Structure 1
């Protein structure tokens, strides 16, 4: 019985500055699973907010209100198309994350161009509304702080250049705006950095949890196999046999899937063990077990150490002739090991086995215990008939 392979351990960096390259695909899947809905929602909220500001423009800059409405409708329509195409068909989580900042950059530039065409006296006060652009740019970041920072700097450059252009003769007004704007910029960037950092931390923690769960599962499988494996022969032990026999019987009752049981006993093993010693006896058991496993390797068979020098084999065979042929092949293969056994009472001087076989649908078999008992009687009969053989099919 082969031990399960240990899961490949992927090194997980404790640093949250970047995701290791080998984990990047998993991180993208994590973002799509946990952040996609949020990114869609904040893009839609931003589009609705940007469109609603047309009402404010109608009050503050009425001379360009119609142009404002047209501009906002066009930009929002383009934005909604981008949102649909990217989140419906796109796979790039970086582009999903940067869609709102890029839209914000375009909308910022368009809005200030609108202000430059207005003659409203309220423009020096209205420009403070542009702070909303930098807040929107950074509030939605979940993947790339670097991308959000680059867009923030670009938006800030557009805003500050436009403020200076709109107040060419009033440097104090531009300075006051800058003093208000910079704290908002720094705070929104801090929120952006914290959000992207938290997503990376959550992902890396999830990777650690999954890795530990995989290791625990593998360890449990190893322990289960150890508990079900005979340490000497490396085949199933008596506990595993009882469990597998019960499962096979359940399958028989549920689906009518018949099976066979073979009980194998090494002939005169006590005499072999007494003469050659326990170490040679252990080696003999190992060789016999290995021979049977290799003989049955291509069939649906499981081999167990039933007790002492006895082995049990469960086989997915329902034909008596095929079962007899397989059992005789086992006898021949063990004989071909040519293990000397000169102190056995009969004339043979090599190690042999005797085999009792029974089918789950044999007459009188009504339970797993009946099957074992019938097989055990046939094994005893095979030994009575001279050993090194399979009990006759008609027995």
Structure 2
């Protein structure tokens, strides 16, 4: 529930402005205190009186109108907001914000706030896909602004394509999840809006329709990280091999895979959509060189299966890393630190989580783990035996450090 949360809803001049009325209404029913700021163009689509009635607060649409209270309105709203939602956001608004232009009450207030800002774009497909608009979105995302991507469908102009405002219920749920699932720092979530892809579980390499090669990974570590990341406000994609685990609540997208090749193809497809990649899956290094589409019959002779190398998924992602944060895992039985340290440089990782499988409470299928985190500078951080969800939060804390250091 959104009881006592203050949300500032910014409405810009798009045809989808009428849907913002429904958003405000649903927020009010969830107990939120809503303040609406409209641009001049937005008032051509929906009258301010509609939002005033729905929000039970004065609507601000003119930067120079006589104030309703003796406050500097844009500063007071910027301070009191627990979150900002811009719905719909036009290409014009996104461009102004990305360029640092504050020429109306909405852009001025957004510039003045330190609260999370969520932007829900809606526009013609060609406009949304325009490189200038996409560059502006990417720029704002790097600055910490959060976007609810538009969907594909029939647009008001008659075109069919991406640019349609996301469903109102999904927008409301997105904001609601921020408040209800956050790992609190005051009223804020330290991973709010960050897009994280997490791999978990084993891969399977088929020999024939009956038999396969796999490993002992249960997926518990990856699922624990995913659950904690959701609690801290992240938008999580979980890519998992076969496990007996329930998918954590609040996961944005779940993708089931089997082989190492499936995992690689999925990560390449999802890579650009995410800010962080946490690679906790146990990936098979080898696969059968040839697959039999019929069950291989038992004979009196030994069976020889030739194996071929799989792609090193972490290494391949390291080559296209860009500004992503990459986290690797090293489950070892000997020379743990040496083996893990080599992987950091080779795979272009920000840090690696190493554990010794021979230690009690640190292996597969356990609810606990004993890990060492090694960063790209060679610093080693050792931890006692902890629950895997506690290890998950340690990993997220270390990712937050990387993000904060990059922003300095």
TM-score of the superposition, structure 2-length normalised? 0.20
Higher RCO (Cα < 8 Å, 6 or more apart): 1
* Structure having the higher Rg: 1
In proportion to residue count, which structure has more strand? 2
